[in-house]
Structure 1
Amino acid sequence: MTKTTETRRVLVIGGGASGNAVTILLRGAGLTVDLIEARPDWNATTGSGITLQGNALRVLRELGVWEKVEASGFAFGALGVTAPDGTLLHEAEDLKTGGDDLPATLGLQRPQLQQILIDAVRASGATVRLGITADIQEQDADGVTVRFSDDTTGRYDLVIAADGLNSATRAAIGITDRPEPTGMAIWRTPAPRPEGVTRTDLAFGGPAYIAGYTPTSEKTLYAYVVEASRGDRSSIPPESYADEMRRLAQRYGGAWPEIAAHITDPARVNYTWFNRLLVEGSWHRGRVVVIGDAAHCCPPTLAQGAAMSLEDASVLAEMLTGGRAWGDELFQAFYERRITRVRTVVEASVQLGQWQLDGVRDADVPGLIGRTMTMLKELP
């Protein structure tokens, strides 16, 4: 007998943006959803800031959290390009990829976005277990048996692996793609917002490839500096993170001296490499589907990583609750609906960084960004 939507049971592995979003949407459609997250704190306190463009905001509105996001963040509609000394060279209007009724861009403190999504997951009635991981034990045509790290087991009609860039589930089901470093790295930190900072400003050149900041509330921003990745991440002691970022930031002008003065706590500075990942062919094996960073990731040069993950959740939830049989045909159709859009974003994001690494001075950066953002105005 075919199960109804109401009797289907789904396991979501990973409580980041895509995992939280798909949980909220599937619960809204009446499915039974268990969500597990390996980190006991549910990532509620990590990260500095995030830039969300209109197509991400569109999904957040679908989740029912847009009003909270809007109240917590800082909306704006332009991007400034400056010289390293802070002189404004160009101001470009951001494209409204989420439609005219949403801001073009919104900056938000990442822990606040996570908390908003956590609250929505809790309110949805999903079962949540933290500090738990899962191993796929066996699959058949009807479902998946899972063993959890607390020695319990579960049987599910579908497992959605949203467990991030280094997804253990992706590897366990035989998808061999792995993230690859692109050659760049980024320093990020939150800081108080100088009064004159009302949009993202990016300085190209100087002691790093890019130095930028994005307002995240009336009182806060997050700042970031992009440089060539160093030979070994472990060679940079975490206790030196603030000193390393401040050393780079102090050599920029404009709002940077005020921002740099607040880069003092190494625990609030994050250092990561840029990576590229795009799983080709399909994003499922049997009844396990990978989404979000587990399926694709890219450098933040277009600020579209979270948006692509949120779109995955929206599209998959729509397809799972649309009345079609759950199986290879549906899961492959999900991949085919997403892959061209995601590939365009990944390749453009990587290309923007590669032009800088290669020192290409006549690259058509505005053209590439414009073409990509115009494509993103279309519904996913």
Structure 2
Amino acid sequence: MTQPRTVLVVGGGAAGNAVTVLLRRAGLGVDLVEAKDDWNATAGSGITLQGNALRVLRELGVWEQVEASGFGFGSVGITAPDGTVLHAQDDLRTGGDDLPATVGMQRPRLQRILIDAVRASGATVRLGTTAEILDNDADGVTVRLGDGTEARYDLVIAADGVGSATRAAIGIADRPEPTGMAIWRIAAPRPAALTRTDLAYGGPAYIAGYCPTSETTLYAYVVEANRDRASIPPESYADEMRHLASAYGGFWPEITAHITDPAEVNYTWFDRMLVEGAWHRGRVVLIGDAAHCCPPTLAQGAALSLEDAWVLSRMLTGSDAWDDALFQAYYERRIARVRPVVEASVQIGQWQLDGVRDADVPGLMGRTMTMLRELP
């Protein structure tokens, strides 16, 4: 009997978890290593999942759990800083008409659902473990794990995020670059009447928005020009975010009242990165944030990462030859879809930084989201 091919997945975020489940379903032997002991199970406040992300989650077999745990909605509102609704627009159903346009979720809840799916798949999981590439050739990859053991795999999938050590180890020099913006985020109770995402442009922040994440929760965010992180002590995070948020009306006073604990506030710069030319070296291939990242102005970061996992798993399980031609075809298939999203996400932010008042933001969003309705 032929031994099944073996794959090492480095990184247990959305992309790594998804590709692990899909490859295990196809009968491959998969080990997953994650550097963090807690498997990122408590990190983050909320996440916006548009239809093309939900489509992949359905392929993973977790859609019912996602639907039950999150909050689905189908429109987005544009408000003035005082909360006056200026315009409400139906969201495009990028995952097809049988899925919601958007589901908001608590990010730790999504991670728990994916963790449970990985466990159920039978993959071997090692937490608090890193992987060092020792040898990478046309036939496979030899790695040394964090516990000192060495192993040989037919393929290594680098899903270790925007700061990917694996990407650097195989000689890909691309690094994330700041776009000039930063975001403050927090989870909070959801007012009963808040049933969709609303975005306010103007005021002391470039954007003030929120997204319902369950029947009782939401996550809220304000976007400003990035500042030197060293100038903002973590103990001041709640004060900083509350100061910005307090200028907004509508649901914001209820939300702002819960911005009290600095440990619950997250501050992150917006970055952009798009690895060009190829997303592999030998038998090591990049997916997700290790290959591309962009500001969340289109809420497509997780969706693109999940799509990477779905496309790569289908290509791997549909081919006998795991070679440069296959991995280059994967890159070309994905870059045609990822590049417009990265560029549009960056452009929307740049228009705001430059103070462009007549920018066609709705048109750019509409064209990009229409493209995403097609299967990846």
TM-score (normalizing by structure 2): 0.99
Q: Aligned partner of 1:110: which letter?
A: R
For 1:65, the equivalent position in structure 2 comes to 62
For 1:214, the equivalent position in structure 2 comes to 211
Match of 1:322 among 318, 321, 327: 318
Give deviations 1:217-273, integer Å, cap 9, x for gaps: 01000000000001x212211111111101111110000000000011111110000
Structure 2 distance, partners of 1:198, 1:141, is: 52
Q: Aligned partner of 2:197: which letter?
A: T
In the alignment, is the contact (CA less than 8 A) between 1:187 and 1:271 conserved in 2? yes
For 1:374, the equivalent position in structure 2 comes to 370
Structure 2 distance, partners of 1:299, 1:361, is: 20
For 2:28, the equivalent position in structure 1 comes to 31
* 1:155-170 aligned within 5 A: 155-170=152-167
Structure 2 distance, partners of 1:345, 1:214, is: 21
In the alignment, is the contact (CA less than 8 A) between 1:23 and 1:121 conserved in 2? yes
Q: Aligned partner of 1:187: which letter?
A: W
1:331 matched to 2:337? The reply is no
For 2:201, the equivalent position in structure 1 comes to 204
* 1:1-380 aligned within 5 A: 7-230=4-227, 232-380=228-376
Structure 2 distance, partners of 1:273, 1:139, is: 34
Structure 1 distance, partners of 2:197, 2:278, is: 36
Give the count of matched residue pairs.
376
- Aligned with 2:178: secondary structure? strand
Give deviations 1:332-368, integer Å, cap 9, x for gaps: 0000000011000000000000000000000000100
Q: Aligned partner of 1:179: which letter?
A: P
Shift of 1:324: 3.5
Structure 2 distance, partners of 1:192, 1:73, is: 14
- Aligned with 1:189: secondary structure? strand
Give deviations 1:189-215, integer Å, cap 9, x for gaps: 000001111000000000100000000
Structure 2 distance, partners of 1:158, 1:40, is: 24
Unmatched tracts of structure 1, length 5 or more: none
CA RMSD of aligned residues (A): 0.8
Q: Aligned partner of 1:49: which letter?
A: G
Structure 1 distance, partners of 2:332, 2:287, is: 13
Structure 2 distance, partners of 1:48, 1:359, is: 29
Shift of 1:150: 1.1
Q: Aligned partner of 1:192: which letter?
A: P
Unmatched tracts of structure 2, length 5 or more: none
Structure 1 distance, partners of 2:190, 2:330, is: 41
Structure 2 distance, partners of 1:78, 1:169, is: 39
- Aligned with 1:218: secondary structure? coil
- Aligned with 1:350: secondary structure? helix
TM superposition outliers: structure 1 runs of 4+ over 6 Å: none
Q: Aligned partner of 1:316: which letter?
A: L
Q: Aligned partner of 2:92: which letter?
A: L
Structure 1 distance, partners of 2:235, 2:75, is: 35
Structure 1 distance, partners of 2:230, 2:62, is: 38
Structure 2 distance, partners of 1:235, 1:212, is: 24
Give deviations 1:56-111, integer Å, cap 9, x for gaps: 00000000000000000000000000000000000010000000000000000000
- Aligned with 2:17: secondary structure? helix
Shift of 1:32: 0.3
- Aligned with 1:301: secondary structure? helix
In the alignment, is the contact (CA less than 8 A) between 1:324 and 1:330 conserved in 2? no
Give deviations 1:34-66, integer Å, cap 9, x for gaps: 000000000000100000000000000000000
In the alignment, is the contact (CA less than 8 A) between 1:10 and 1:34 conserved in 2? yes
Identity %: 80
Shift of 1:323: 2.8
Structure 2 distance, partners of 1:233, 1:140, is: 41
In the alignment, is the contact (CA less than 8 A) between 1:29 and 1:321 conserved in 2? yes
- Aligned with 1:97: secondary structure? coil
